[in-house]
A and B are shown apart, each in its own frame.
Chain A
Amino acid sequence: MQTRPLVRFRGVNKSFGALQANVDVSFDLRPGAILALLGENGAGKSTIMNVLAGLYVPDSGHIEVDGERLALGSPRASVAAGVGMVHQQFRLVESLSGFENISLALHGGRILQPRSADAKLKALMEELGFNIDLATPVHAMSLARRQQLEILRTIAAGARVLVLDEPTSVLSAVETHGLFAIMRRIVASGRSVILISHKLTEVLEVADEVVVMRSGRVVHKGPTAGADPDALSRHIVGDRSFVTDARPERAAGEIVLRVDKLDVADHRGATVVHGADFAVRGGEVVAILGVTGNGQTELMEAIGGLRRPVSGQVEAPRHNKRRAFAYIPAQHLGTALAPGLVLRENAILGHQRRLGGRGWLQRHVLNARAGHVKGRFGVRIDEHEPVRRLSGGNLQRVVLGRELLDDPSLIVADYPTRGLDVASAAQIRSALVAAASKGAGVLLSSEEISESLAIATRVLVMHGGEVVADLPAAEADRERIGRLMTRGREAQ
């Protein structure tokens, strides 16, 4: 028997100026199913979900929920129809407790607010397997807990269609499995989940059906059972081939970065990096691997100059006491790029005192640099537009293009492929390998072991704020590194 779809997308078109973000998008979502929406950055996944959530008005087409036409362009109507979206950036009030955040959504306008969870909410948590202490303020919760809270809030507010936008990008492997367990119980209760992702292995593990989008169109739909991963990747990236250059073959040169007994504290003042001590030579690609939250980001920030170390020293190329090497921080917008400044201005960020001109910025220098930054990785944007409107992949390309411009002798990159699709990530890895082949030292942090092993000449494993292993790539196999990442020194 064919059950009636919970949601049907029917010929949805949406364009932004000349860009066709969605072209004739049609697919169905069954009740009680996890549907994975796969595609590269900019394939149109978020656009179609924003149409569903009522945030965008499509140019044509419509959406049915339970056979009823959804009033488009109205977030209120979408919520009333049972659509709930959990965005990548959580929308929680950090100073309030978990329950207060849920209460805001449920009893927003009431003058007398209930103080603790009622039986209904407790039953819901029980049924779906949530394990959150609702009395804890959000700022004291881990990212995984916050995500659970956000999902619980959305469901408690009546969502039957739960849209999760790249939910695993902030989670460790263990947390990801916890999330998947919750997702399975959510669909067992008759609700449906749309999972936006570009991690194929996860999708095959948890989803029942898959819809692949490319350049705004649906290019494949079908069940995950028996799906061929290689075929799916071809659907995702199309017929382009992308090959990461192999690791650089080159004898290590001069030391370009020396980290000397470095202790670094996080924003609360707790020391999260203990006695980091290593060096990077020209021609090397050194990968720092570790589970998120083991001090990698703080270490990279201390090297890049965003964070003052508690003790110890960093010796790296400097020019008038300022950083004179490439640094790609974990966050592009707001740190590596000023969102409100135009591309030309962002193209000189950090270099503004090395361009000559005695306090004046020369127009021809700015134009030339902007041209190079755009051209290096093929970013299309008007040089006079603020960069905030670029997609995540393009922002990362702008940062990389700028930082690699003057052939730096040292490149420090904090998880430069985070959140990027397969092709963009390969492009960025290739650029790093190419720089190392020309003699630059590369220090790179990442959570993806295979990606890093493909290009690294040396691997540092971080666990609990310490560098617990320093291995030549030849001796580093996935399993050993996995053990070191999760168990630290005791794994040796």
Chain B
Amino acid sequence: MIAIPSFRLEPRLEAGRPGGQALQVLSGAVLAFVLGALFLIATGEDVLVAYGALLRGSFGSVNALSGTLNKAVPIGLCALGIAFAYRARLWNIGAEGQLYMGAFGAAGVGLHLPAETSAIVALPLALAAGMLAGAVWALVAALLKAYRGVNEILTTLMLNYIAILWVGYLVNGPWSDPLVFSFPYSAAIIPGAQVGKLFFGVHAGLVVLCLMAVLLIVIDRSSRIGYELRLAGDAPRAALYGGINQRKLVLIGLGGAGLLAGLAGAIEISGATLRLQSGLSPGYGFMAILVAWIAQGRPLAILLASVLYAALINGGFALQVSGIPPAIGTILQAVLLLSVFAATTFGAYRLRRVPTGRVAT
């Protein structure tokens, strides 16, 4: 008689430590690179060339690194906003549109202030206008949700298209730059409304991103509004019991998300593109949803995940330059995301040996 050990998955009862979660993400990433390598071999591409290009394009040079960090800023800001709203289980799918409206707000200030306005006045004004525009855009969905019970997933999603088309209209019509024929660009914003560079091409938006992450940590840990958002998200009826105004929470949750996405748009205008243009964002607001999920809403993890995601985009460009089809870069991104999701999902379980396994003869 041989006792065959049997195993089974059991949910972990205790919450994982941050170190354990980092390990899960890392093992997911390793798995992704192995799967990606198999895929590259199957399609006849050179694994080393592909991964080399990916690495070079994302972190391999000062330019690559600064490009990665600059792209991480809008993704990270939108993701922080999405995570903030999700504290109350509100789904903000509209970060992309809010980003566009933020860009519109900042560009409106940057284009219409007198050219000699000093940065002390112009820059805060541009960023504030961007945040306000993003927040107002999100509040359209929030008001519908709070007073009419309209599902915010649908409204925020649909509002994206309106915002993107609105910016397209502006740069082709009233705000189009007479000097760049047929390009959907506005004129450049005034120098005072530009955030300027920190070092090696990295613009100051990175500082803003880090500050906002810290702010979210503080809100989570010790603000009453953060408490009420988490309470409403965890148990809506307990929020009612606790005398919390649910309408106000919806407005604050989605409004805050819109504010951060609007800030992302404003920083894109004032630090990266320096003008309003269509195709301003390659979908930062949508990528941010994935980033917020992978990071499970944790602010510091969002910082890390947004840099990694930006690295994937940047590395994808380098893949194309090395002659590898761009679709492969997209597939590698997808493999990475799925692997990390899988790793964190299974990380919530542990493998346990069942002591009295079946006895075989």
A residues near B (Cβ < 8 Å) are 57, 59-60, 62, 71-73, 304-306, 322-323, 327, 329, 334-341, 345, 348-350, 352-353, 357, 359-363, 386, 389
Contacts and interface: CB of A to CB of B under 8 A. Distances in A.
Given A335-B238, A341-B231, A349-B238, A360 B222 contact: yes
A332 to B, nearest CB: 10
The 7 A-B pairs with the shortest beta carbon distances in the complex, nearest first, are A322-B243, A340-B234, A338-B235, A350-B242, A338-B234, A338-B238, A335-B237
A386 B231 CA distance: 12
Contact of A327 (B13, B237, B241, B356): B241
A73 B355 CA distance: 9
B355 A59 contact: yes
B224 A349 contact: no
B242 A349 contact: yes
B118 interface: no
A349 B356 CA distance: 45
9 contacts: A305-B240, A339-B234, A349-B231, A352-B227, A353-B243, A359-B223, A359-B225, A360-B222, A363-B222
B353 to A, nearest CB: 10
Contact of B241 (A73, A306, A340): A306
B241 A329 contact: yes
A361 to B, nearest CB: 5
B280 to A, nearest CB: 35
Contacts of B15: 386
Given A71-B356, A323-B243, 20 more contacts: A59-B355, A60-B355, A305-B241, A305-B243, A306-B240, A334-B235, A334-B237, A334-B238, A336-B238, A336-B241, A338-B230, A338-B238, A341-B234, A349-B231, A349-B242, A352-B228, A361-B223, A361-B224, A362-B222, A386-B15
B235 A353 contact: no
B224 A352 contact: yes
B8 interface: yes
Nearest to B237: A335
Contacts of B228: 352
Nearest to B6: A73
Listed residue (A73, A339, A353) with the most chain B CB atoms within 10 angstroms of its CB: A73
A329 B238 CA distance: 10
A32 B308 CA distance: 65
Contacts of B237: 306, 334-335
A352 B238 CA distance: 13
B356 A339 contact: no
Listed residue (B8, B13, B224) with the most chain A CB atoms within 10 angstroms of its CB: B224
Contacts of A336: 238, 241
Contacts of B13: 389
A341 B230 contact: yes
A219 to B, nearest CB: 27
Interface in B222-268: 222-225, 227-228, 230-231, 234-235, 237-243
B224 A353 contact: yes
B358 to A, nearest CB: 6
Given A62-B356, A350-B242, A352-B242, A339 B224 contact: no
B354 interface: yes
B235 A345 contact: no
Contact of A338 (B8, B222, B231, B243): B231
Contacts of A72: 354, 356
A345 B222 contact: no
B8 A339 contact: no
A360 B241 contact: no
A307 to B, nearest CB: 9
Nearest to A336: B241
Contacts of B358: 71
Contacts of B8: 73
Contacts of B352: 57
B238 to A, nearest CB: 4
A57 B5 CA distance: 14
Contacts of B223: 359-361
A345 B240 contact: no
Contacts of A339: 234-235
A350 B240 contact: no
Contacts of A341: 230-231, 234
Contacts of B230: 338, 341, 345
B75 to A, nearest CB: 27
Contact of A345 (B231, B239, B354): B231
Contacts of B355: 57, 59-60
A73 B222 contact: no
Contacts of B241: 304-306, 327, 329, 335-336, 349-350
A311 to B, nearest CB: 21
A389 B234 CA distance: 15
Nearest to A359: B224
A353 B223 CA distance: 11
B348 to A, nearest CB: 14
A348 B224 CA distance: 11
Contacts of A360: 222-224
Contacts of A363: 222
Listed residue (A60, A338, A363, A389) with the most chain B CB atoms within 10 angstroms of its CB: A338
Nearest to A61: B356
Contacts of A57: 352, 354-356
Interface string B314-355: 000000000000000000000000000000000000001011
Nearest to B15: A386
Contacts of A305: 240-241, 243
Contacts of A359: 223-225
Nearest to B225: A359
Contacts of A352: 224, 227-228, 242
Interface string B83-96: 00000000000000
Nearest to B356: A72
B242 to A, nearest CB: 4
A71 B354 CA distance: 11
Contacts of B227: 345, 348, 352, 361
A348 B227 CA distance: 10
Contacts of A340: 234-235
A74 to B, nearest CB: 9
Given A345-B227, A360-B223, A361-B222, A335 B235 contact: yes
A57 B357 CA distance: 11
B248 to A, nearest CB: 12
Contacts of B354: 57, 72-73
Contacts of A304: 241
B183 to A, nearest CB: 47
Contact of A350 (B224, B235, B243, B356): B243
Interface in B119-139: none
Contacts of B238: 334-338, 349
